[in-house]
């Protein structure tokens, strides 16, 4: 059972797992479950993904941070909700945010080829182990934010970041590739599927 399914199960029976509306109990139950899985070498049983959505749990902290404009880089979703709302109200807000997070939909997207010069710039950041040739910027419905990914010969690598707006995503794109982009936009869509598997980027600080 992956983290998303675990939390769905916990929220369905809160008094069984957390004794009621208790954000701290939820957090430590999740910690304990993850620790037991790691200690026993149990890998996630999540199915292969060919889309950026449903959103990966590892993006949830960034989603909360963007929603509440929280600037502390080392805080995770629990720290942020406790700071803003406290334990009981934080639990209720967690339920709302988690539900919205699981229901994210795509509004539109655009893609751009990555030039040879941009690949060289990207290689300086990654050590040259990955050679992307296409980059995707994805706008989510209801002004929920933006996601991004880059395509290689064998897979789609999703950035381990959730962006509050297009400007934040573009700043990130320029920091990775530099140069100018040649965008091709697609509107009026609610999904973006790939023929290659989607992998979450290994690097990143999202918890």
Segment 101-122, tens digit of pLDDT: 999 999 999 999 999 999 999 9
Q: Domain tally for the chain?
A: 2
Verify cis geometry, omega within 30 degrees of 0, for the bond prior to 8: no
Is 37 in a helix, a strand, or coil?
Answer: helix
**CB contact at 8 A, 169 and 146:** yes
Report the distance separating Cα 10 and Cα 6, nearest Å: 6
pLDDT number for residue 203: 66
Report the distance separating Cα 6 and Cα 18, nearest Å: 13
Report the distance separating Cα 196 and Cα 51, nearest Å: 9
Q: Where among 103, 122, 152 does a domain terminate? A: 103
Residues of the chain falling short of pLDDT 70: 41-46, 203-207
Residue 205 within a domain: no
Residues 84 and 131 in one domain: no
**CB contact at 8 A, 206 and 62:** yes
Mean pLDDT estimate for the chain: 90
Q: Which long-range contacts (CB under 8 A, 24 or more apart) does 148-154 make?
A: 148/172, 148/173, 149/52, 149/198, 150/114, 150/176, 151/194, 151/196, 154/196
Q: Within the chain, how many helices (H) and strands (E) appear? A: 8, 6
Residues 55 and 27 in one domain: yes
Residue 207 within a domain: no
pLDDT number for residue 206: 35
Percentage, residues of the chain above pLDDT 90: 73
pLDDT number for residue 166: 97
């Amino acid at each position: 059972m992956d983290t998303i399914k675990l939390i769905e199960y916990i929220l369905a029976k809160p008094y069984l797992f957390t004794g009621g509306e208790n954000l701290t109990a939820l957090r430590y139950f999740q910690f304990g479950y993850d620790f037991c899985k790691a200690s026993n070498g149990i890998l996630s049983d999540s199915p292969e993904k060919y889309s950026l959505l449903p959103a990966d749990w590892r993006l949830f902290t960034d989603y909360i941070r963007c929603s509440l404009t929280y600037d502390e880089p080392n805080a995770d979703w629990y720290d942020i909700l406790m700071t803003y709302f406290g334990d009981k109200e934080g639990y209720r807000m967690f339920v709302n945010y988690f539900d919205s997070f699981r229901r994210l939909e795509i509004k539109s997207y655009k893609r751009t080829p990555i030039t040879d010069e941009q690949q060289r710039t990207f290689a300086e950041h990654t050590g040259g182990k990955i050679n992307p040739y296409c980059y995707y910027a994805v706008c989510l419905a209801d002004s929920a934010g933006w996601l991004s990914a880059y395509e290689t010969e064998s897979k789609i690598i999703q950035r381990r970041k959730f962006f509050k707006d297009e400007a934040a995503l573009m700043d990130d794109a320029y920091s990775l590739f530099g140069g100018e982009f040649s965008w091709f936009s697609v509107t009026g869509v609610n999904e973006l599927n790939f023929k290659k598997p989607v992998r979450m980027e290994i690097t990143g600080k999202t918890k």
